Amino acid sequence: MTFHSSRGPYPATRLRRLRQFPWSRALVNETSLTAADLIWPLFVLPGKDKEEPVVSLPGVSRMSVDRLLPQIDRAIELGIPAIALFPVTPAECKSDDGAEALNPDNLICTATRTIRAEFGEQLGIVCDVALDPYTTHGQDGLLRDGKIVNDATVEVLSQQAVVQAAAGASVIAPSDMMDGRIGAIRTALDAAGHDGVLLMSYAAKYASAFYGPFRDAVGSKGNLGSGDKKTYQMQPSASDEALHEVSLDLAEGADIVMVKPGMPYLDIVQRIKSEFSVPTAVYQVSGEYAMLSAAAANGWIDGTACMLESLLAFRRAGADMILTYFALQAAEALRE
């Protein structure tokens, strides 16, 4: 609305008044970002005293668990509540059926036990349930006659989840996108006495082009080759289907639902949070991280400012928690 005075027209409502001072901006701040909103994905190497930088993820390294422990200690000090573990499975441990996923002494289970023994219940440990780190073909499920078989895969995933829970995982995060796997895993966990373990479902996971650096990091890119995951991951064009996926996973017992990737799918995050009002996670995936990091390294953007702005965007869209490779860096920046 505009009023007139002897000085001419001027607005009665001036939104800039609230933006004048740091204290006034703080009072009307609508969305906050803290270290407690972050989950830090980590890549685990076999062996001891090992570290390998991931070229396509600047600043990110694969590490043996003894090298990870000081990093995790720093994360706890900064207030990061949870980590997500991903194994770099040796080639000799991979097979067509991904049997290593069920080995209670595999890399992810051994790392989980070590971290749990070191830090107790000071942080949550999120373990990924899918077969792609363990299969020679790089697919998330069992491959028969050139096709991913759903129900047989779900049986294996349920066993994998129980093995990880027994090792000390506090959150099981199925990323495979098989139909019905949340209900089957929940049933298997409860039957094995792990009824207190959370289920974080990759409920709306898209067949995205932004996953490349992650596949480099875990060593599945070469196994997948020219193959793709379009028969089980969602089409980037889909929106209503994401709500359908989430509703099914919630009905089957998911405690947390996730959208992956993040920034290209902010509309999906917002729709899910508005429709269901349940704990909602988002994964700022490797391609998103790599783009921001590369632009910052070239001096094209302010890396810290853009990092924090991107994370705040997830919170504004409705995400309660964010998986991001920036977690430690962001937590340090937020403390300053």
Catalytic residue among 94, 205, 229, 273: 205
Which residues are within 8 A (CB) of 123 and not within 5 positions of it... i.e. 6 or more apart?
A: 72, 75, 76, 80, 81, 82, 83
CB 191 within 8 A of CB 258: no
Catalytic residue among 147, 221, 229, 260: 260
3-state secondary structure of 134: coil
CB 60 within 8 A of CB 84: no
CB 213 within 8 A of CB 81: no
Which residues are within 8 A (CB) of 86 and not within 5 positions of it... i.e. 6 or more apart?
A: 41, 42, 43, 44, 108, 128, 133, 214, 217, 218
Indicate the pairing of strand 82-87 with strand 51-53: unpaired
* Cα–Cα distance for residue pair 65/45, rounded to 1 Å: 7
CB 194 within 8 A of CB 166: yes
Positive/negative CA dihedral, 199, 106, 112, 68: negative
Which residues are within 8 A (CB) of 296 and not within 5 positions of it... i.e. 6 or more apart?
A: 302, 303, 306, 307
230 is catalytic: no
- Can you say how many angstroms the Cα of residue 42 is from the centroid of all Cα atoms in its chain? 10
50 is catalytic: no
Residue corresponding to tokens 């505009």? 2
Phi, psi of 34 (to 5 degrees): -130, 170
Which of 137, 172, 143 lies closest to 157 in space, CA to CA? Answer: 172
245 in a known ligand binding site? yes
List active site positions.
Answer: 205, 260
Detail the residues annotated as belonging to a binding site.
245
Detail the residues annotated as belonging to a binding site for Mg(2+).
245
